[in-house]
Structure 1
């Protein structure tokens, strides 16, 4: 646990004396969002967490206790249907009276589109200074790493894409033969990449949204929510600065990730993955995709291939056969980090540290 966020979490408990009131019952989807809500709620209460940390959000099945928590909820904070399409239906059935906040849909959230192909063919990687040019948009990573986030936020129409988990299952055979040369495994993964919590600037934005939502539900404690949010936003701003300095020497690293979950983190800190073993929804890769990646790792001199604890690590070993690349581990959901207010800062720090040791 990072010292900064340990101290911040402790400070929340004494920042403002809570007013005795009916504090909203809050449900969150994944541990990073649970952490942000916990920071805003402070001593007033604790949100419920739906997903177990060792599970993949793309295909999670609710437990009976999860259903009960949703039925009792006054508010549900979740990333959005792009990440957990199953939760959209569950909220409609079980928590229809709760305030539902899809954080990725909120104003000023930075959204990026899916990258395509095993080698992100539609992305031209830059010269080691953190710049990547996209066919559909241009993001200067060094500019994204600055504080003028709102000037560069790219708000895509979230309704212009299909449910990406649905594409992992439906119409595979109908599309695959059209994409043999693109190594896309036959899936149309156009649309918004849901892993937006890995940009801490989004977390700063979401802290404000969470604070305002809880204040609307619980006006008596609005001052507490606001003060806690401001304190956490300041801590995250400091963390962004620290990680920009920490990762400055890693911008020329050539790496491949297990699945394309790190676009937001890369964009914020000037890194650039050269491919992914699996698709953004962690759909198992085709044999052709594995062969393509293995050849690319050899030819391009890839430094590192990142595995993830939630998925099949054996696939990484298969991809690495006959190459000299190092195998690292990176976890976008913080499987081994204690759930709570300090979780989010520790998660982002842990992702950064994974790049430091992946040489």
Structure 2
């Protein structure tokens, strides 16, 4: 299948001139900002990878653009998390020619992979509510292997992804192998320091329960032992039914003073409904970095922001 057919685009649109790249740099395309940040850090001094899901867009709701098609058509290497997260990329990548190395980072050696939670405040379909029936294992996050794909929210996983990125870039561009390897060593040191820093930030509030918009934070929770008590929706593409909202509202009330976190890419109305009549406070978490500028430092800004926003909201007096 041709890439143009898979995207519903005309061949002339695909063949328009793309972004210029340095002669010594391979054309590298990345799917989402956290992946782009890790690749950018490893490619510093050699080249700059392209990014598909830019700005405030979310991979959960993204639609391919002609510029994205051009980037994929010209790519020597493509890094993405995998079809469990970037569903919109699956068919276009299948249609690519064999020249590009396509790397699913959710298969990187050394990753911790956590299964989707089952039951209670994290899973709507177990309660038999027809309004919530779409929140089953068929949505964007919950297919393709049965594990949570927000893998980057643990710096140790980020190190495993960075190792796979480095191995791929060295194989694709051996002339710049020393640069990639040196950058990877520096990145690993920064990730180790970040891990210790975040642990210190969240330690004073790690026993305080909170509710998130969708269940994207399991890796952060697992790493730092914070108490995610439930999610408003299993996946952000799916609007939860009235029964689920009522259950989460009761959960917040039963927990006492806590926090409910919205996400900037999605409507906060459901958060307001959950908060109504409770002592809970509102906060914002941005697991996909929609509000941040892309670049090699984004990953660190993202992780610090999650830690600091958790601490700030959970530390507030009722």
Bin the TM-score by the shorter chain. Answer: 0.7 to 0.9
Q: Secondary structure of 2:211's partner?
A: strand
TM (norm. structure 1) is 0.75
1:250 is aligned to 2:229: no
Unaligned segments of structure 2, at least 5 residues: 1-21
Q: Is the 8 A contact 1:259 1:282 kept in 2?
A: no
* Structure with greater contact order relative to length (CA < 8 Å, sep ≥ 6): 1
1:25 is aligned to 27
Q: Which residue of 265, 268, 277 corresponds with 1:322?
A: 277
CA distance in 2, matches of 1:31, 1:284: 25
Q: Which residue of 185, 203, 206 corresponds with 2:161?
A: 206
Unaligned segments of structure 1, at least 5 residues: 1-19, 122-174
CA distance in 1, matches of 2:81, 2:48: 18
Quote how far apart the aligned CAs of 1:278 are: 0.8
Deviation by residue 1:105-133 (Cα, 9 ceiling, x = unmatched): 11111111112345137xxxxxxxxxxxx
2:90 is aligned to 88
Quote how far apart the aligned CAs of 1:280 are: 3.3
Change (3 A) 1:298 1:234: same
Change (3 A) 1:197 1:176: closer
Q: Secondary structure of 1:332's partner?
A: coil
Deviation by residue 1:80-123 (Cα, 9 ceiling, x = unmatched): 110012212111213542101110111111111112345137xx
Q: Secondary structure of 1:347's partner?
A: helix
1:355 is aligned to 2:304: no
Quote how far apart the aligned CAs of 1:334 are: 1.8
Q: Is the 8 A contact 2:61 2:237 kept in 1?
A: no
1:113 is aligned to 115
Q: Is the 8 A contact 1:82 1:194 kept in 2?
A: yes
Q: How many residues align?
A: 287
Q: Which residue of 80, 83, 104 corresponds with 1:102?
A: 104
Q: Is the 8 A contact 1:178 1:186 kept in 2?
A: no
1:165 is aligned to none
1:187 is aligned to 136
Q: Secondary structure of 1:119's partner?
A: helix
Q: Which residue of 215, 221, 228 corresponds with 1:273?
A: 228
Q: Secondary structure of 2:229's partner?
A: coil
Query: 4+ residue stretches of structure 1 with deviation over 3 A?
Result: 175-178, 183-186
Q: Is the 8 A contact 1:114 1:280 kept in 2?
A: no
Q: Is the 8 A contact 1:334 1:347 kept in 2?
A: yes
Deviation by residue 1:160-191 (Cα, 9 ceiling, x = unmatched): xxxxxxxxxxxxxxx9697339x776513471
1:40 is aligned to 42
Q: Secondary structure of 2:29's partner?
A: strand
1:61 is aligned to 63
Quote how far apart the aligned CAs of 1:276 are: 0.3
**Correspondence 1:257-336 to 2 at 5 A:** 257-336=212-291
Aligned CA-pair RMSD: 2.2
Quote how far apart the aligned CAs of 1:50 are: 0.2
Q: Secondary structure of 1:44's partner?
A: coil
**Correspondence 1:131-280 to 2 at 5 A:** 179-180=128-129, 187-188=136-137, 189=142, 191-280=146-235
TM (norm. structure 2) is 0.85
